[in-house]
Amino acid sequence: MEYLKKSFDVFFKADPGVVVIRGDWGVGKTFFWDQYINERISQKNLEQIAYSYVSLFGKNSLLEIKSSVFQNAKAIATDDTIVSSFEEELRKAGTLYSKFPRVKGIWSFARTKSTWLGKLTDTAKRMPVLDKFSSLLSSIEYSLVNNYIICFDDIERKGSSLSIKELMGLADELAQRKYCKVVLIFNDKSFDKDGKDLEHFNSYREKVVDVELLYNPSCETNFSHVFASNMDGYDFLKSVILKINVKNVRVLRKLKNLLNVHSVFFKGKNKALSEEFLLHSAVLCASYYTGDSFIKYDALRTSLAGGTWAKYLSTSAEDLTPDEKSFKNINATLQMSESKFDVHIGDYLECGYVDENPLKLTIGTLEERYRVSSVDAKLKKAWKIYHDSFEDDSEEFKSSLKHILDNELDALALSDFSSAIEILKQLGEPVDLYTDAYITANYQNLKDEAISSSLSLDRVTDKHLREKVIEASKDGRSFTIDGIASKIGKSRTWNQEDIIYLSNLTVSDFVEWIHSKPDELTVKLRSGLLTFKNIATSNPEDSRNYSAISNTVEEALKIIAAENELNSIRVKNMYGISL
């Protein structure tokens, strides 16, 4: 914003006057002005004797404002210059003191900087004896205001009893009669709803205002003011802020505070995980603090919870609500879907604190998901060598797969691991050690997810791996052959898990069960397990499973029949199975 600085440089070289800085709420008007004036004061090249910043927020009278101008003043000239100025102003007001000798002693305190006198008079106004001289003391203070730089901020948030007409009159008086440089900072879009304040300002603008400047910085400028370039994820966060066009410095500072509070939990974490948090923090924070000008916070949370962003792409604008349209527009570039972080970010925005343990649990869960996703990408890259080429690159292909098996076994799905070792076997590589290591690394998961493991066995062709998976799956099952056989034999009911379990058992499993001397064995066999031999179904998978169960049970009974002559007769007569 160099052009604004140059405009102010020219303003300070000219005669006393009034300059206006306009701009949207929160874009950094005051921040810019503070930077500029502090730099000029530090250079000690200003002709004025003091600088006073006055926020008009809630102020309702000119008397209050005049007093604040003096009370808030900071000396920017030498002591001698200030004393000389005060003496001259007090001399002009000499007739006033001659009528009020009880406060005449204040003059002696004028031989110091304005802030000292301000503290004295401000205290005096609150003392019972001197309280009745409050207006007089304010007049004394105001009489000393001469050749100041005065900034009136938050004009649109003034008290209702103070009119724009009065304020503009004061600004004009300070500039023309008291040789001050007056700066007015406000957002004209935030004037009163009936528009009267803006109308009054416009009516006095030509008479009072000498220079009018629009402060409209870019998102990138304000972002760089708030965030240090060495912060983790700086470039990614900057790209998000530019896409959602947030230039409100207050909102950016709120976001910075949020990220600072949470940063300790993301040290050393996966980059994609951190970027997910940055993305959702930026969008939710912008929505929470800017509301309708961006997208309503509640609407954003609802849209995120409603599923993937892609569902809106195929929906015509006529079929979307205004909030859904806003969400669709945001996701044209961000492609946001619901994140587990949304709840934690929302809790912080609404309650102001971090619930550490649930956040740590979420980070752990998502970190594992991102790790698996990374492994998936590596697998795709390895298999691309196999699928997309007819080059003699088997060594490269084997090396890629073995690198994954050496480092990422605990992140591989059973089907992916099975596919990898099958192709390695075909290429002459030993794989049994990989299989043992995989079962060890994933044993608890295979045990806890027994049915899922069994469902995946259809894709497992390696005998050693299949046996190990079944072994782990058995360890994790809470049901037994006896329990399922009894349920089928007595009630003629079963579920898919029962079928998957039975179809993956071996002949020796059934032989062992028969030798355990279960009660009502005939019912469990004839009315239970062997009924699958006669069930017809149009589902190919069910048909294969039913055949696998009945064939395995029959083979087990043949082994039982071969044990002795009586068993052979029993099996033939009771179950129709001959050796």
**Do 198 and 262 belong to one domain?**
no
pTM above 0.85, yes or no: no
H or E element at residue 204:
helix 196-208
The domain of 58 spans 2-214
Residue 362 domain flag? no
**Do 558 and 517 belong to one domain?**
yes
**Do 13 and 134 belong to one domain?**
yes
- Kindly give, in sequence order, each residue whose CB lies less than 8 Å from that of residue 136, ignoring residues fewer than 6 positions away: 100, 103
H or E element at residue 559:
helix 540-561
The torsion angles phi and psi of 518, rounded to 5 degrees, stand at: -70, 150
**Do 208 and 270 belong to one domain?**
no
In the listed set 448, 476, 504, which residue is the last one of a domain according to the structure?
476
Residue 359 domain flag? no
**Do 306 and 391 belong to one domain?**
no
**Do 192 and 226 belong to one domain?**
no
Residue 368 domain flag? no
Residue 369 domain flag? no
In three-state secondary structure terms, 18 is: strand
Q: Would you write out the chain's pLDDT as a tens digit for each of its 579 residues?
A: 688 899 999 999 999 899 999 888 888 899 999 999 999 999 999 999 999 999 999 999 998 999 899 889 999 988 788 777 777 766 665 555 445 444 444 444 444 444 444 444 454 444 444 344 445 566 677 888 899 999 999 988 899 899 999 999 999 999 999 999 999 998 877 676 566 888 888 888 888 999 999 988 889 999 998 999 999 999 999 999 999 889 889 999 999 999 999 999 999 898 989 999 999 999 999 999 986 677 888 888 887 876 555 555 555 667 777 777 777 777 777 878 888 999 999 999 999 889 999 999 999 989 888 888 888 888 989 999 998 889 999 999 999 999 999 998 988 888 889 889 999 999 999 999 999 999 988 887 776 554 444 445 656 778 888 888 877 766 655 678 999 999 999 888 888 778 888 988 899 999 999 999 999 999 999 999 999 988 888 888 888 889 999 999 999 999 999 999 999 999 999 999 988
**Do 43 and 184 belong to one domain?**
yes
In the listed set 427, 460, 476, which residue is the last one of a domain according to the structure?
476
**Do 241 and 100 belong to one domain?**
no
**Do 10 and 72 belong to one domain?**
yes
Residue type, 310: A
**Do 180 and 36 belong to one domain?**
yes
Q: What is the CATH number of the domain that holds 109?
A: 3.40.50
In the listed set 179, 214, 249, which residue is the last one of a domain according to the structure?
214
Number of domains within the chain: 4
Residue 427 domain flag? yes
Q: CA angle 322-325-328, nearest 5°?
A: 155
Residue 143 domain flag? yes
Residue 374 domain flag? no
Residue 175 domain flag? yes
CA pair distance 83, 103, nearest whole angstrom: 19
**Do 488 and 469 belong to one domain?**
no
**Do 201 and 265 belong to one domain?**
no
